[in-house]
Every structure is written in C-alpha cells, then in structure tokens.
Amino acid sequence: ILKTIAESSHPNLVDFLGYFVHPTLKVLCLTFELCDGNLEELVKANPAGAFVEKELERLFRQMAFAFKALHHYGIIHRDIKPENVLITNDGHIKVTDFGLARVISDTPVSDSTGAVLLGTMAYLSPEQVQQLAVDQRSDVYSCGILLYEMVTGMVPFTGNSPLEVAYQH
C-alpha cells in the first residue's frame, strides 16, 4: 500500500519522502511532507456553522478528490477522521495515515479480528462496526461524517462508551 501511495502523485495525498530503519530502536520509520495543521484544529477553531460555504466546499472537494484517487489506486483508507486530514500553510488538504488502509479486491477485506475493532468509533461505517467486509462505500460514509462535523461542529453519533456509539452507527 505504501509503495502505491509513494508512487502516486496526487495534490491531496501527503507526499511520501522516504523511509529508514531507526538504528537504536530497529523500527521502520516513514517520512512524509510537513503540514502545518489538520482538519480537527480547523473544526475546533470554527464553531458550528462558522465555515463560509465556499470554504467548506473547497475543503471538502479536496478531501473527496483525495479519496477518489485512493480508490482509483485500489486502496480503501478505513480510518478517515479530522486528524488524518492535514492542511498545508497555503490551505490545501493532504490526506495521511494509511495504517489501516487495505487494497480493494474482488473479495473485500473484513475487519474481523476477534474482539478487536480497528478505527475511530465516531467515524466508522456500519459495516466496519459490524466487522463485515468493507469497500469504497465505507470511506464515503466516513467522509459524510466529516462533512456533518464541519457543518455542525460535532459528530452525529455520541455516547458514554464506544459501544453506545457503535450501536448508533
């Protein structure tokens, strides 16, 4: 997946610069372009409805282009959330964090790992919550949650526990 992303050149995907093995820790370290902020910071700085419609459209359009490109390359992101949508100093969107991304295949990948549910509960699609097979539609659902949050200042489903949020999805 990282090889595909590294070889892709899309203005709304974070640029992969390289990798190295940390000499002391013996772990693989990836380097990406530096961005100044993320969508989470921008949403917190703008109370509900404070986004100018044109700015909201511009940001969301860039996010949609990023996910369309990932799907074109055969990748499902599976962890769309405000923290994974970076913003450059000139205001451009860069999608990042491909740790849960999977290749789209004829047999969609299932998240079934026993009792472990991967991702951020507030943004997971119903099929992810149910640990069913996922495809591009899961990313579209999560983008819809992001748009809802950008418009209202909050996610559509909340609860006292992750399980309560899961049932609402």
Query: DSSP label at 15?
Result: P
Is residue 106 annotated as a catalytic residue, yes or no? no
Q: How long is the chain?
A: 169
Catalytic residue, candidates 15, 36, 79, 111? 79
As a whole number of angstroms, the distance between CA 165 and CA 157 comes to 6
150 and 43 Cβ atoms separated by less than 8 Å: yes
Q: Other CB atoms closer than 10 Å to residue 19's CB: what's the count? A: 11
Tokens standing for 56? 């909201």
Cite the active site residues.
Answer: 79
